[in-house]
Amino acid sequence: PEPPNNSEMKKIHAVALAAAALALQLPGAGAFLPQAARRVARAGNAALAASAIPSIPDVAELQKADFAASVELAEAVCGQLRLIQVQDAKAEELDLEKLKAATVAMLSHADGARGFFVRWLTDSYIQDKVYVFDETLPEVLTSALQEAPADVVAPLCVMNLIMPTGMAVAYEKKWDKDAAAASAATGTRAAQIIEEMKDGAVKDACVGKMVAALNAITGTSSGEVEEDGVVFWEDFYKKWGYNPEQKEAIKNVLEDVLELDDDDDDESSE
C-alpha cells in the first residue's frame, strides 16, 4: 500500500492507514478529526455501562460507511464484542452470527477497518486515566479477522503496533506520562490483535510486514520478504521522522511479537 496522502493526513492526523486511535492522543489533533472520531477518546466503556445492549447496524450499511460513519457505527459492534470479552451476563443474549457478520463487514474495506480499530484500540481506556489490558479476544473477533482481506487489515494491524510505540517514546521525552501511557496501551492492544490472530492469510501478511519493518531498521535481510516491502518501511520511518531511540523501541516491540508468534508455531508443531 502507498503511504497516506495529504488529504488523509488532514482527516486523521497523518495516521489514516494505521492508527487513527493514535491521532486521538496527539495535542491539536482534534482540529483534523471528524466529530465522531473526537468523541471516541472520551467514550470509555460507556457501552458496557448502558442498560441496553447496543443494536448492531445492518451489514449493508457497514460495508459502505465512510471513515467517520464507521467510527460511529463501530460503537455498537465493539460494545457487543466487549460484553463477550469481559464475560458480562448480557453477552448471553447476543446473536453471535449477526455480530460476526457485522465485524466481517467492517473489516472488509479500508474505511470500515480504520473505524473499527479506532474504536477497539481506544474504548478500553477507562475513567481517571487508568488503562486496562484486556482479557483474551473474543472468538467472534478472531474469526472475523481470519476472514478479513489481508491487504486491508494487515497494514493497519502492523502500523497500529508501530506508531503508538514511537509516540510513547516521544511523549516520555516530553515528560508527558499520561500521553505516554495512552500510547503504550494502544500499542499493547494492537499487539494483542496480532498475537491472538488465527493462522491464515491475514496472520501471514502481518508477520511478513513485521519482518520487513524490522529489517528496515536493522538493515538486514532474512530473505523472507520482498525488497520493496523493506523499502516501504524505510520510507515510512523517514516520512514520519522517527529518531534512533524511537526506532529502537519499535525494533524491540516487533521482535517481541515475532518471537511470540514463533513460540506459538513451535507449540502447535509439537
Report residue 56 as a C-alpha cell. Answer: 448492531
Q: Residue 133's pLDDT is what?
A: 52
> Which of 127-131, 148-152, 258-262 has maximum average pLDDT?
148-152
How buried is 227 (Cβ within 10 angstroms: 0-12 exposed, 13-18 middle, 19+ buried)? exposed
pLDDT: is 22 or 135 the higher one?
135
> DSSP secondary-structure letter at 128?
G
Residue-wise pLDDT for 42-87, tens only, equals 344 444 444 478 899 999 999 999 999 999 999 999 989 988 887 8
CA distances from 158 to 18, 46, 108, 109, 211 (A): 8, 28, 17, 17, 10
Q: Is the distance from CB of 24 to CB of 38 less than 8 angstroms?
A: yes
Residue-wise pLDDT for 209-240, tens only, equals 999 999 999 987 655 556 668 999 999 999 99
- Provide the residue type at 189 as one letter: R
> DSSP secondary-structure letter at 130?
E
pLDDT: is 263 or 139 the higher one?
139
Report residue 179 as a C-alpha cell. Answer: 500521553
Report residue 223 as a C-alpha cell. Answer: 530473505
The phi and psi torsions of 131 (rounded to 5 degrees) equal -115, 135
Q: Identify the residue whose cell numbers are 502492523.
A: 158
Distance of CA 94 to the CA centre of its chain: 24
Looking at residues 83-107, what average pLDDT do you find? 92
